Amino acid sequence: SLPSRRRRRRPRCSGDRGGPPWTVKPGLLEGREGPWHARQPSIGSGATMGPRARSKTPGSWGLGLHRLVLVSCLAALHLAVWFQRSGVLPQPYMDEKFHVPQAQRYCEGDFWYWDGKITTFPGLYIVAAAPNCILRAIGWSARIPCLVQDLRLANGVLFGAVLCPIATIELSRRLHPSTPLWRLSLNAIALNTFPVHFFACDLYYTDAGALGLALACVCILAAPAGRGRRRWLSAAAAAAAIGFRQTNAVWAGFGLGLGVLLRFGPKGRATKNKGKPTATAAEETVACLKLVWARRGEVLAEFWPTLAVLASFVLFVLRNGGVVVGDRDAHKPKLHLAQVCYFGAVTFAARLPAVAASWTSGRPRRRAGWAALAVLTLLCAACAAWSSLAHPYLLADNRHYTFYVWRKWLGRGL
């Protein structure tokens, strides 16, 4: 094509007449929440920006395509499990014999019925009854029967194939912004096909919904600053997560702490010339707490809805006399330090390839690290020996893998 004779006009927002048109004067775009260029790291550097410069952040089309592929792959896997399980297990299984009748009563509009053996809030059953409530509100006479196969399918697709994967990849993007999107997608597939989580999604349990809403709550709280709706979305996600399972109050508090540190905490770690940290973890923790306390007014203004949800849950526990809402004789709080050992063993097994890579990379290992490892090993042995508890349901139900692990290995003692 012929070159245009019109002369391109330079934008008037340039910092100086001789610089590139994308350079902005320092402080020109300072807003209500600090310098604008501090929140947008790719803007404001004339040396790196130009007409042909491209951002490393994936566009909406690329991100949407990765989400679609991720959801499609997991939905296909859950559908395959659902088809196989529907033929082999057509009746409610294990705890489904409590959850399925309760959901069916909610689907019929009987919201006053409650099974005394159920220990969690009715969030799972409200989601199951929502379609019938909508049909009833618009005047339709048709109703969804809420059969056990329907409830399993909805649980597996809605939470196992949609909510959990999307929350996983979004949280990974915000915590690791420099990692390629395809790596985050593969990581999300690996996490969401973890057998303990994957096969529980296709049963009508609270596990999948509770995990997906907890991840969504943490993801919203870890969002960048400057979004007015975040405070209300995070509070709604925290309330919904607690509505599925009470222990999600701990994860809501974790997400709240993460959001406070990302928003008001120190922006980086001070390092020496060789890149080694100058402060220990304890010193950094104390410094973060002091910094957050100095800005406590801003913290309350930013996160008060989520704090109100957590405070309401604390008041409920105090008034209720416990966390559970039913079957209190079999659900009492106990100090079970061996759970920390179980968690550490599973985490170490999951991270073993990365640990092995660091051992074979030739990096120097400090003696203090080996000493700490020896001390932790002794503490874990003591916890396993004197703080291992066996729940009556663990000893009575041979349909759990943990029943055989305890009977043949852990229950025999050291």
Q: How far apart are CA 29 and CA 44, in angstroms?
A: 10
Nearest to 293 by CA among 250, 260, 267: 260
Helix (H), strand (E) at residue 276 = none
Nearest to 238 by CA among 223, 256, 226, 225: 256
Estimate the share of the chain in helix, then strand, then coil, as percent rounded to the nearest 5. Answer: 60, 0, 40
Q: How far apart are CA 47 and CA 49, in angstroms?
A: 6
In degrees, to the nearest 5, what angle opens at C-alpha 208 toward C-alphas 263 and 238? 35
Q: Which residues of 194-208 are buried (b: 16+ CB within 10 A; e: fewer)?
A: eeeebbbbbbbbbbb
Q: Strand locations in 285-349, DSSP E?
A: none
The pLDDT score that the predictor gives to residue 24 is: 42
Tokens 């303990």, residue located = 196
In degrees, to the nearest 5, what angle opens at C-alpha 199 toward C-alphas 97 and 210? 70
Ranges in the chain, pLDDT < 50: 11-58, 268-274, 277, 414
pLDDT in tens, 65-119: 778 888 888 889 989 988 888 888 888 888 888 999 999 888 888 888 888 888 8
34, β-bridge pairs: 31
Q: How far apart are CA 384 and CA 188, in angstroms?
A: 33
